[in-house]
Structures are given as structure tokens and as C-alpha cells.
Amino acid sequence: MSQWNRVAIIGVGLIGGSLGLDLLRRRLARHVVGIGRRVANLEIAQARGLVTSTSMSIPAGVAECDLVIVCTPVGDVAGRLLEAAASTPAGCLLTDAGSTKGTIVAELDARLPSAVRFVGSHPLAGSEKAGPQAAVADLFVGRTVVITPTSRTRPADEAAVRELWQSLDARVVSMTPDEHDRVVAATSHLPHLAAAALAAATPAEGAELIARGWLDTTRIAGGDVELWTQIFAANRTHVLTALEQYGKVLDSFRQAIIAGDDAKLRDLLNEAKRARDALGS
């Protein structure tokens, strides 16, 4: 009683590979075709049971599919979706897992035939790990997935994409592409910049005195460089706004330290602690 007969996953890395694994393990899909450009990755994906077959051709791989999910780095998502949409059977549902949505969704809204069923997605399940070897079962359980319908989206298609992620036990939130990009600039893209700059600013002689705080704070700086280069390029305006806001807060700390104003410093640290304690554990 699979929901999907044949699913194509374009890009079998951490996200795509985990998706394939879950769709198969949960018997939500009969066949999962892994599509990619690197033979080595496709072989790992097949060997690990993340997909049931592989293809290096999008037109060949997506033929006869009722669901296509593009899980490449964001710079490639729109192109792959357009290529896939040209070869999918009528009624095939398309979505993606790109970390930014504005440029992708705008390009597809402009270029996809109106009959094509596409709704953008972003599962917030990234990690500093990458590739099909990093794929794990149940990656999306309890995670937030943003879906980004537009005025062009048919309600039935939005519902279908929502149900796809819900069938993997994710929590689905609906936002406009721009709203999504603005918020993740602050909650995901800025943290990556902050962590990367921190790692890069650490002097070599610091190696001996690295402790847990540094390791936690810089962890995501170990993430895939190409992926993140494309994210910053795709979400430039919102990332710069978030960075500007970050610079202002850092400067408040700096001024309080320069002035020896411990009361002000305590206020700033208390505000930060409240924000941290309110949002996570």
C-alpha cells in the first residue's frame, strides 16, 4: 500500500539519501531512483539501500516517476527541477530540499508550465556531515520542514507536499519563499557565518586550549563549502541584513567591555541567555 510507486531523488547526499532510506523503510515508495553525477556516490547510495536503482540521466531517471525530489546544493536546484519537469509524466509531483527558496521558486514560477505540480520545500535537517555515507534513517522525525506555496500553487499540491513530509514524521510549516529566506538568514545562514569566522579567527597556538565551548560554537563551520557558498549567493540580501544586525549586537558588547560597564555587559548577557534558554536546549 505504498503512497508512491516510483520516486526519483536527484542528489543522493545527506538529505536525499536519508529521504530515500525513509521512503523505502517505511514502505512509502516501491522504487526509489537515485540520480546524480558522481558514480561513487550513486554506488554508495545503492549499496547502503538508500535507493533501489540509480541513473546519471535526469530524463531517463525521472521517467515514470510520480514524485521527484531535488536535493542538490541550492545553486543547482532550479536547473535540475526544470530538466526533470520536462521528462516527468503528467501528474508527477515535484519538490526540492533547497536551503533557500526565493530565487528557486521565482525561477520555477516563471518557467514551469502551469500544469506542472511543484511546491518548494526546505527540511531543516542539515548537518556538517555530507554525502550518502552520512544518510541516516528517521532524519526528519520531529524536524521542521518549511514548504513555500505561492499564488500559483494549487491547494491540492500544497497538501500533497505537506503529507509527504508528514509521512516522515516531520513538522510542516508553510511560509512565502521570501519570508522563509528572511528568517533562515538569521537562524541558519548567520550562525554559519559566525561559526566560520570564529574558526578562521582562532590563532594556531589556540589548538592546545580548545574546549567544549569552541567545539560547539564552531561545529557547523566544518560543513560543505560548496553548499554554503551557494546558500550565501542565493540569499545575499537577507544574509547581509542579518549580518548587519549581528554586527550591531557585537558592537554593543564591545562598547560595554571598552567602557568597563559591567552592568551593561550583564544586561546584554542576560538578554542573550533569555533568548537562548527560550529557544532550545
Site for a copy of itself in 135-164 (CB under 8 A): 143-144, 146
Query: Which of the residues 165 through 204 are near a copy of itself (CB under 8 A)?
Result: 173, 180, 183-184, 186-188, 190-203
Nearer to a copy of itself, 154 or 273 (CB): 273
203-242 binders of a copy of itself (CB under 8 A): 203, 205-223, 225-226, 228-229, 232-233, 236, 239-240, 242
- Residue at 220: amino acid letter: I
Is residue 69 within 8 A of residue 168, CB to CB? The reply is no
Residue 84, judged by CB atoms within 10 A of its CB (0-12, 13-18, 19+), counts as buried
Q: Least separation, in Å, of the C-beta of 232 and a copy of itself?
A: 5
Strand ordering across the sheet containing 4-10:
53-55, 29-35, 4-10, 67-70, 93-96, 117-118
Region from 2-10, 17-25, 108-116, 245-253 binding a copy of itself, contact rule CB under 8 A: 245-253
Beta carbon nearer to a copy of itself, 134 or 199: 199
User: Least distance from C-beta 193 to a copy of itself, angstroms?
Assistant: 5
Residue 253 burial by Cβ neighbours in a 10 Å radius (0-12, 13-18, 19+)? middle
Task: Tell me how far, at minimum, the Cβ of 280 lies from a copy of itself, in Å.
Answer: 5
The H or E element spanning position 144 is strand 144-148
As a whole number of Å, the CA-based R_g of the chain is 21
Q: How far is the CB of 252 from a copy of itself (least distance, A)?
A: 8
Hey, what's the cell of 156?
491540492
Phi, then psi, of 64 in degrees rounded to 5: 70, 10
- Contact code string over 4-43 relative to a copy of itself, x by CB under 8 A: ----------------------------------------
**Residue (163 or 226) nearer to a copy of itself, CB:** 226
